[in-house]
Structure formats: structure tokens, C-alpha cells
Structure 1
């Protein structure tokens, strides 16, 4: 193998490595922040996406949910009463669930509303 052939082989190997790094498959997290509620425990059942842009506003869920996943940098407060009222279903107290950033959670009661923190 001549010096020129070795140099070409090394250049080709370097180029192939750069292409692999630059154009390789991106991990799932590279798609951006996301969060979702699920009608079943353990992130099962129907998936309901969270509107992360509606920060500070109470959002009603279209149906009760029992779990969630939060792959965003924002915390999400989860309520068991309509209109983001605290308390167990049908009661008034200080009970609610804070789903932290980059966490999954199962709820003790069916959740019906939520609020995203800025």
C-alpha cells in the first residue's frame, strides 16, 4: 500500500465517521419536549397529549386519566376536580398532584384537569 493509498483510506474512514455522527439516527428525546396523560395506570390506555404552550391556564381533560409522563422542563399540576380545584374528587382540600419535569406518575384518583407551569 503506497503512502497515497493509506492517506486516501484514512480520509475515507474519517469522512465515513463524520457522516455517521452528523447524519445518524437521533434519539427519541431529540424530537422536543412532550407530555401526555393516559386513561390507564402505568402509561396505558388512550394517550392524551398535554398542551405545554398553555402555561398558567387551567386545561380540562376530555376524559378522566390515571397516569402521565412528562418529558419537558415544565412541571404540571394535576387536579381531581374540574376547573383545577384542589381536593379529592367531589371534596375540597389542598390535595393535587405535581408531575415534575422528566417524570412519570400514576394518580390516586382519576384526574380531570391540569395546569402547566411556565
Structure 2
């Protein structure tokens, strides 16, 4: 019986620990609440967390687009993906550092950027 009881306690302890992890994950909230759209839309925002002036994305046009002002965040609630560039004219690389970097903003997603976004291209 002692073995069964120990096994039962171990299973119970695992269940409690698992429940605590689940509750912690559900309760965890991002530092800033973001109000996401509920219809197909894509836009860049001048501020972090989709704040500030918004610049709409031309989802139907796969050409390179330079943003009228740098963007620190964007949302993409469409079926297309968006390549976000930290340089004008859809040139890859970090600001003033040529390389092959760009940010891939997937369908049904949003992001804050590590560097100001300056141009974009719709793909897919």
C-alpha cells in the first residue's frame, strides 16, 4: 500500500504542478495591451504596440512600397505575408549595415520591430 500511496501522491503532485503552470500561462499578460482588429486589415503604426499614426498596406500590390514615415509596429490580419525592410526601396539589411535581413510579418499576426521599418513588399 505504501507504494500505491506514494505513486498516488506523485501523480497528484504532478497534476497540481501542471495546473499551476497552465494557470500561470493563461494569466500571463503582455506588458501593454494591444487592441487588435477584427476584420481583414493590414497597417503600419508609427509607435510601438500599434499606436500612433497608421499607414495602410496595399495588400493587392506586390511592388515595393516606401513608408511615408518610419513604423515601429504593424498588424497583418490578411491572407498575405508582408516582408518588412529596415531600409528604403526594400533593400535588405539592418540600418546602415548591408546584409540579407528583413522581417517576415506573417498572415494573421502583429509585431513590434527592433528597428524602424522603412519599406515593405506584400508576398503570397
TM-score, normalised via structure 2 length: 0.68
What are the ranges of 5 or more consecutive residues in structure 1 without an aligned counterpart?
A: 1-27
Q: Which residue does the alignment assign to 2:86?
A: 80
Aligned counterpart, 1:108: 114
SS in 1 for 2:68: strand
RMSD: 0.9
Give the superposition deviation at 1:34. Answer: 1.4
Taking the aligned partners of 2:97 and 2:119, their CA distance within structure 1 comes to 15
Number of the residue aligned with 1:53: 60
Matches within 5 A, 1:1-118: 28-29=38-39, 33-55=40-62, 57-118=63-124
Whole-Å separation in 1 of the counterparts to 2:87 and 2:43 = 18
Structure 2 portions without partners, runs of 5+: 1-37
**Aligned pairs, number:** 87
Name the structure where strand makes up a greater proportion of residues.
Answer: 1
Question: SS of 2:65's equivalent?
Answer: strand
Q: Find runs of 4+ consecutive structure 1 residues off by over 2 angstroms.
A: none
